[in-house]
Amino acid sequence: MSELRIDALMTDLLTYLQTIQPLSEGLMQALQTGITREELPEKHLLLQPGRVARKIYFVESGLVHGFTLFRERKVSSWFMREGDFVISVVSFLMQAPSTEYLELLEPSVVYSVTYDQLQLLYTHFPEFNTIGRRLTEKYYVLSEQRAYTLRTASASERYEQLLRDFPDIFQRVQVKQIASYLGIAPETLSRLRAQY
């Protein structure tokens, strides 16, 4: 694939990274040669329990569902879509077996970088450490906000927050997965939807 083609395909990712920290020419080249673009089908598993997360992903298009199995039931943790980074935090950072699934809910285009490649980027390009730190901060805050909401907000408040954060979720995600994410029964979700 030519450099121009890679540049054209990576525009969204590089533009996003530039908003966090200006990228040096060397870092731009390293990203272009080190990042892999993948077109993957719906239901493709980026990760499953027992496997070590070797990659971090940036979603160009599509939707990723993070979930665990508890008593034979899927428990939804999160949904990530266009413009999001996707990672199984504990598995990737600790290079330990995962306890969660990362499944594509739609045909998706993602960019990936391996754990080893990421460590090299951190070592050779100090400005990339700023990008890593700021992304970690962003997603940690989102995780804390979600945990707080689950502990303190009513079902209707959680539902309203979800609609603010992800207005088209019902066009893209199954009702039972949304209910699981909100920590409510599908019947409760149906009643909430009828009220709004």
| pLDDT tens for the chain, residues 1 to 196 | 334 344 555 778 888 999 999 999 999 999 989 999 999 999 999 999 999 999 999 999 999 999 999 998 999 999 999 999 999 999 999 999 999 999 999 999 999 999 999 999 999 999 999 999 999 999 999 999 989 998 999 999 999 999 999 999 999 999 999 999 999 999 999 999 998 7
Please give the pLDDT value at position 78: 95
Please give the pLDDT value at position 11: 78
Q: What are phi and psi of 28, to 5 degrees?
A: -60, -45
Residue corresponding to tokens 């940690």:
140
Please give the pLDDT value at position 2: 35
Tell me, which fold does domain 3-146 have in CATH? Jelly Rolls (2.60.120)
Please give the pLDDT value at position 111: 95
Q: Where are the domains of the chain?
A: 3-146, 153-196
Please give the pLDDT value at position 66: 97
Single pTM value for the model:
0.89
- C-beta separation of 48 from 101 below 8 A: yes
86-92's contacts with Cβ under 8 Å and 24+ in sequence apart are 86/46, 86/56, 86/57, 86/58, 86/59, 86/110, 87/53, 87/56, 87/57, 87/139, 88/47, 88/53, 89/139, 91/47, 91/51, 91/52, 91/53, 92/53, 92/54, 92/55, 92/56
Please give the pLDDT value at position 119: 97
Please give the pLDDT value at position 9: 57
Please give the pLDDT value at position 67: 97
Please give the pLDDT value at position 7: 52
